[in-house]
A and B are shown apart, each in its own frame.
Chain A
Amino acid sequence: AQSVTQLGSHVSVSEGALVLLRCNYSSSVPPYLFWYVQYPNQGLQLLLKYTTGATLVKGINGFEAEFKKSETSFHLTKPSAHMSDAAEYFCAVFAGSNTGKLIFGQGTTLQVKP
């Protein structure tokens, strides 16, 4: 069965610092992986996704993630944090066409300090 673990429910960085949000997955099949962002009182916005091919995936707003099969990880990074990056971030794995669902991690709240 597929599962997702996000390490750290809260991450705090200074503006301009590196952002690193950790995600580990478990999947019995080649995974499709996603990062979504949720701003207060809003829905989920897709940042990036990995399906097949290049393991370094670039997304919107300067974010990128690297798929590492050997480590079963899909960590999200951004070289320089902006105040506008403060939000909750969710890592998700597609659970297979027989279920049709995304399985989400518990989320990581990113705080950006001035």
Chain B
Amino acid sequence: KAGVTQTPRYLIKTRGQQVTLSCSPISGHRSVSWYQQTPGQGLQFLFEYFSETQRNKGNFPGRFSGRQFSNSRSEMNVSTLELGDSALYLCASSLVPGGGTDTQYFGPGTRLTVL
């Protein structure tokens, strides 16, 4: 069974631009979560989607948004990019939402660099 895939793997943007990242969960998984990883802040939760609905959102500005499609694939969008948005963005999928007893499986991430 294929793992979580994320595209693109690397991305370079300039300040003020917007970017869209894509995540395809493991087949059969309906829950997708997004995390931002930076050297300074570590791993921080962005949001969680299940059945095309955002269930939870982390403490990030409104420039960060996401959505989930009927096939469970998810996208996240960052508008008006800032230098501080440079990070590794990780997507995780699980069978059911909540990520408690159910394991979250992570993709390889998208490395975003904002110049």
Chain A interface residues (CB < 8 Å from chain B): 32, 34, 36, 41-46, 49, 51-52, 90, 92, 94, 96-107
Contacts and interface: CB of A to CB of B under 8 A. Distances in A.
A49 B103 contact: yes
B105 A46 contact: yes
Nearest to B10: A41
B103 A100 contact: no
A101 B58 contact: yes
Contact of B99 (A42, A45, A102): A102
Which size bracket describes the interface of B in this complex?
20 to 34
Given A43-B4, A44-B90, A106-B42, A101 B33 contact: yes
Interface of B: 4, 6, 33, 35, 42-43, 45, 48, 55-56, 58, 90, 92, 97-101, 103-109, 111
A54 B32 CA distance: 29
Contacts of B98: 94, 97, 100
Given A101-B45, A101-B58, A32 B106 contact: no
B74 to A, nearest CB: 14
B43 to A, nearest CB: 4
